Amino acid sequence: MSERRQFIGTLIAAGPTRTMTGEAGGYVVTAEAIRRAIDEGLFRGLACFADHAAGGPSVRRLVGVWRDVGWVAGGPGGGAAVGRLVAYETAETRPVLDLLDQWLADGGEEETPDLGISIVFYPRLAADGRTVTALTMVESADVVMFPASEGARIGGWSSVEQRSTEQYSVGQFPVGQDSVRRGEGIIHSHSQTVKQDERRGRLHRDGSKTGRQTQKENSGMTHETDVTEVRRVALVRGGGEATAVTPQAVVGKNDGAGAATGSAGFSAAASPFDDWLGALKTATATAVIRASGLPAVVQERLGAGAYETADDVYAAVERARAELAALREAEVVRLDGLGAAGRSARGYQLRDPLDEARELLGFFFGAAGAPTPPPNLRSFGDLYVALTGDVYFRGVFDGRRVQFSGATTSTLPNLAVDAMNRVITEQFAALEHYRWYERVAAVEPNDGRLHDMKWITLGGIGNLPAVSEGAAYTELDVADAQETAAFVKRGGYVGITREMIKNGDIMQLQAIPRALAAAAVRTRSAAVSALFTANSGVGPTLAQDSKALFHVDHGNLATTALGTDATAWRAARSECFQQVELGSGKPLGVFPRFLLVPAELYDTALSILGYGEGMPTAYTPEAQARGFADPRPIPLVVPDWTDATDWAYVVDPALFPVIQMSYSQSPGGRQHPIPELFAVVSETSGLMFSNDVLPIKVRDEFAVGVNGARGIGKRNAA
């Protein structure tokens, strides 16, 4: 068998850690922790892989095993753990070993990649949460490569003749990778490059032709390394320094001198066996505590205790669980919806960073109930940078600088649309007078297509004919009439300019959704109002008889003024009730529910219909409701009417729909939706590219019309 390649490397050095970017880390590894780990044999037979495992250690990446790991004093932290790597040369690892040889050969060059050793171990932390007081387990010491960072280069290997001046970094890896072993993470240490004899390479082959090589260190410990004979060295601590004890020193010869040597060796080695027994008990207790699933702070407290038997450890774990259960009892949410604190289970909800961003956008666009942002995000420009990373306001998304997890190129536009939708919904509720049309119009469903809507009126059949005994039933003819209305698309866009974002003009931002809401409501109001004012106040021409909606032949048009009493209204009520049903010639039999007036006649309408203040001595018929067939009439102001004397009436659409609407954005009908808002999400096209404008497009697409002249009337007063 050919000679196996061997290397000498520094596994971990005492001192503060560093991040991969060269900044100060959050941990300090004590020299005592490393020395104790060496004494307890945690580095003995330690595996070395090529790179850290992403999904679990793999035999295919096994480079070798660490032997004779010992303590080397020196360096800022006081010393380091140094060992000999005996390589396993396979088809998988041979390229790695060849690479290391070539890297060593290029050690004198200035431009060489930074290689290093990264160990994975489980720390025990002090009360401050950052001082590593012990290494409870060392998993592996792997060959890794990281990019160099200015001032603190990661990587570098040193021989045992060198003094260790390495620094290390704390690796942060995503949950789910093999490198995450416990809640507080695993510390990955990377030795920093040091210079010796003007060489940057620090990995040295240990395999001289003399057959034996001795490395002497400042700690007073001597390692004897044989290429053909592997000798393990046990470290016995005594008198404040480490002493090397070889197997020959422990097992002496039978002669007199040998007996003395063996006796002395056995006496020196007795302490390690006792230490190993104690270490085994401690390791077992630590493993049981770690597997308990208790919080880290509780595990730390239990780990500091002393246990004589395994039952003592299990009993301590159970007591801790019972203690935690008692403390958490008040926080339990029960299935009946009430916890011990009286909180409803529905009050608990999960939140992510984008929920906070959604609330912040709601504040800038004026959504009710949106919380005030923190001081560092009260400028819309600051929030824009936090969501897009566009620190130079170039209109591009920079994912490296975003401050909200999960933010993408579409996050800001979509959240802006969401915030404006909330404001528009609130503003719709405030514009009640402009929403008069919602009271008189029935919203019909559609099939999602934009074909003309057909408003159909079914006629009556009069009285049912008598059927003699044994005679056949006759077919009844049901008359119908229909009108059509086309979908009309209305809309536009409002641009949020780059200057508006940088200047953080909150008032202007909040005015945008309010203006969009008002424009949409007024547009719908005007469309329904035009049914009464078109063609000089007689309405659109009906397809069923080619006559105007309001026509004397329809019995729904007059020139009577509203007046100051209920005379004109009562005549209109009677007129509506007696309108002839289609097909049967029977009276319609429905009283009008709504009195439509311009703003000038609103107070008069209130007085006529009995909506005055105070308690009257006598109630007029209009001041009371008498069931669904004769409801109390409701006066509605039509903001778009400019004639101060005209007025109209219409029946309740729930009883007999006359005015009908249908929205393309609400195929199901039955409700009036808010307009649709859209945002441009591409920073390289459209106005974002050419004009530095984030456009918010509004679209409202609906059809409106009447199905006939029944249940509606108009008074064009002179």
DSSP, residue by residue, 610-629:
T--SS--SS--GGGS--STT
Can you tell me the distance from the alpha carbon of 665 to that of 441, in angstroms, rounded to the nearest whole number? 17
pLDDT class of 247 with cuts at 50, 70, 90: very low
Which pLDDT does position 417 carry in this prediction? 78
Q: Cβ-count burial of 602 within 10 angstroms (0-12 exposed, 13-18 middle, 19+ buried)? A: middle
pLDDT class of 177 with cuts at 50, 70, 90: very low
Which pLDDT does position 275 carry in this prediction? 64
Which pLDDT does position 99 carry in this prediction? 84
In a domain, 275, yes or no: no
Q: In this structure, are residues 397 and 413 in contact, taking their beta carbons and an 8 Å threshold?
A: no
Place of tokens 């209204």: 569
Those residues with Cβ within 8 angstroms of residue 392's Cβ, 6 or more apart along the chain or in another chain: none
Residues of the chain with pLDDT > 90: what percent? 18
Q: Which of 292, 325, 358 is the last residue of a domain?
A: 325
Examine the domain organization and report whether 313 and 171 are in the same domain.
no
pLDDT class of 159 with cuts at 50, 70, 90: very low
Q: Cβ-count burial of 305 within 10 angstroms (0-12 exposed, 13-18 middle, 19+ buried)? A: exposed
In a domain, 514, yes or no: yes
Shortest CA distance to 136 belongs to which of 314, 279, 309, 298?
Answer: 279
Which pLDDT does position 187 carry in this prediction? 37
> Is residue 202 predicted with pLDDT exceeding 60?
no
Q: Cβ-count burial of 306 within 10 angstroms (0-12 exposed, 13-18 middle, 19+ buried)? A: exposed
Q: How far is CA 79 from the centre of its chain?
A: 45
pLDDT class of 107 with cuts at 50, 70, 90: low
Which pLDDT does position 501 carry in this prediction? 76
Q: Give the highest mean pLDDT range of 139-148, 190-199, 277-286.
A: 277-286
Can you tell me the distance from the alpha carbon of 677 to that of 517, in angstroms, rounded to the nearest whole number? 11
pLDDT class of 526 with cuts at 50, 70, 90: very high
Which pLDDT does position 349 carry in this prediction? 52
In a domain, 117, yes or no: yes
Which pLDDT does position 441 carry in this prediction? 92
pLDDT class of 224 with cuts at 50, 70, 90: very low
Examine the domain organization and report whether 204 and 318 are in the same domain.
no
In a domain, 94, yes or no: yes
Examine the domain organization and report whether 651 and 563 are in the same domain.
yes
Examine the domain organization and report whether 77 and 161 are in the same domain.
yes
> Which helix H or strand E contains 558, and what residues bound it?
strand 557-558
In a domain, 683, yes or no: yes
- DSSP states of 57-94 as a string? --GGGEEEEEEEEEEEE-STTSEEEEEEEEE---TTTH
Name the more confident of 42 and 386.
42
Examine the domain organization and report whether 544 and 678 are in the same domain.
yes
Both tokens assigned to 228? 């053909």
In a domain, 68, yes or no: yes
> Is residue 245 predicted with pLDDT exceeding 70?
no
Both tokens assigned to 90? 């396979």
Q: Which of 161, 192, 215 is the last residue of a domain?
A: 215
Average pLDDT over residues 559-565: 90
Q: In this structure, are residues 676 and 516 in contact, taking their beta carbons and an 8 Å threshold?
A: no
Please report, as a single letter, which amino acid is at residue 180. V
Average pLDDT over residues 553-561: 91
Which sign does the torsion angle of CA 498, 504, 508, 514 carry?
A: positive
Per-residue CA distances from 151 to 164, 193, 414, 636, 662 (Å): 17, 10, 43, 78, 69
Both tokens assigned to 342? 């009286």
Which pLDDT does position 683 carry in this prediction? 55
Q: Measure CA of the first residue to CA of the last residue in the chain; give whole Å.
A: 119
Average pLDDT over residues 136-158: 55
Both tokens assigned to 41? 């044999």
> Is residue 150 predicted with pLDDT exceeding 90?
no
> Which helix H or strand E contains 322, and what residues bound it?
helix 310-328
For the chain, what is the total number of helices (H) and then of strands (E)? 15, 27
Place of tokens 């669904």: 628
Which pLDDT does position 216 carry in this prediction? 30
> Is residue 248 predicted with pLDDT exceeding 50?
no
Domain that holds residue 303: 281-325
Can you tell me the distance from the alpha carbon of 694 to that of 426, in angstroms, rounded to the nearest whole number? 23
pLDDT class of 468 with cuts at 50, 70, 90: confident
Can you tell me the distance from the alpha carbon of 382 to that of 389, in angstroms, rounded to the nearest whole number? 10
Can you tell me the distance from the alpha carbon of 59 to that of 683, in angstroms, rounded to the nearest whole number? 48
Place of tokens 């019972």: 322
Output phi, psi for 277, to 5 deg.
Answer: -65, -45
pLDDT class of 109 with cuts at 50, 70, 90: low
A 10 A CB-CB count for 99 gives 15
Can you tell me the distance from the alpha carbon of 581 to that of 671, in angstroms, rounded to the nearest whole number? 28
Which pLDDT does position 270 carry in this prediction? 40
Examine the domain organization and report whether 665 and 523 are in the same domain.
yes
The mean of the pLDDT values for the chain is 72
pLDDT class of 460 with cuts at 50, 70, 90: low
Place of tokens 């397809």: 543
Shortest CA distance to 205 belongs to which of 103, 65, 309?
Answer: 103
Average pLDDT over residues 346-367: 68
Those residues with Cβ within 8 angstroms of residue 68's Cβ, 6 or more apart along the chain or in another chain: 83, 84, 223, 225, 232, 233
Can you tell me the distance from the alpha carbon of 709 to that of 532, in angstroms, rounded to the nearest whole number? 12
Average pLDDT over residues 345-353: 52
Per-residue CA distances from 41 to 160, 179, 308 (Å): 19, 22, 22
Q: Which of 190, 215, 240 is the last residue of a domain?
A: 215
Can you tell me the distance from the alpha carbon of 154 to that of 17, in angstroms, rounded to the nearest whole number? 11
Which pLDDT does position 706 carry in this prediction? 92
Paired strand residues for 695: 495
Name the more confident of 563 and 202.
563
Q: Which bin fits 377, alpha (ψ -120 to 50), beta or left (φ > 0)?
A: alpha
Paired strand residues for 243: 236
Average pLDDT over residues 55-61: 74
pLDDT class of 637 with cuts at 50, 70, 90: very high
> Is residue 208 predicted with pLDDT exceeding 50?
no
In a domain, 27, yes or no: yes
pTM: 0.48
Examine the domain organization and report whether 313 and 210 are in the same domain.
no
Place of tokens 């095993």: 65
Q: Where are the alpha helices (H) located in 370-497, listed in sequence order? A: 380-388, 411-430, 437-440
Question: SS3 for 443-468, per residue?
Answer: ECCCCCCCCCEEEEEECCCCCCCCCC
Examine the domain organization and report whether 191 and 314 are in the same domain.
no
Both tokens assigned to 168? 């290390």
Q: In this structure, are residues 12 and 46 in contact, taking their beta carbons and an 8 Å threshold?
A: no
Q: Cβ-count burial of 331 within 10 angstroms (0-12 exposed, 13-18 middle, 19+ buried)? A: exposed
Least confident of 233-237, 272-276, 368-372, 555-559: 233-237
Least confident of 35-39, 278-282, 302-306: 278-282
Which pLDDT does position 182 carry in this prediction? 30
Per-residue CA distances from 517 to 497, 535, 660 (Å): 20, 29, 22
Least confident of 387-391, 491-495, 601-605, 652-656: 387-391
Those residues with Cβ within 8 angstroms of residue 586's Cβ, 6 or more apart along the chain or in another chain: 460, 462, 580
Q: How far is CA 377 from the centre of its chain?
A: 19
Q: In this structure, are residues 193 and 149 in contact, taking their beta carbons and an 8 Å threshold?
A: no
Examine the domain organization and report whether 49 and 159 are in the same domain.
yes
Counted domains in the chain: 3
Examine the domain organization and report whether 182 and 294 are in the same domain.
no
pLDDT class of 112 with cuts at 50, 70, 90: low
In a domain, 418, yes or no: no
> Is residue 308 predicted with pLDDT exceeding 50?
yes
> Which helix H or strand E contains 168, and what residues bound it?
strand 168-169
> Is residue 220 predicted with pLDDT exceeding 50?
no
Examine the domain organization and report whether 153 and 13 are in the same domain.
yes
Instruction: For the sheet with 79-87, list strands across it.
Output: 46-49, 62-73, 79-87, 6-13, 204-205
Q: Where are the alpha helices (H) located in 205-255, listed in sequence order? A: 247-250
Can you tell me the distance from the alpha carbon of 418 to that of 423, in angstroms, rounded to the nearest whole number? 9
Examine the domain organization and report whether 168 and 23 are in the same domain.
yes
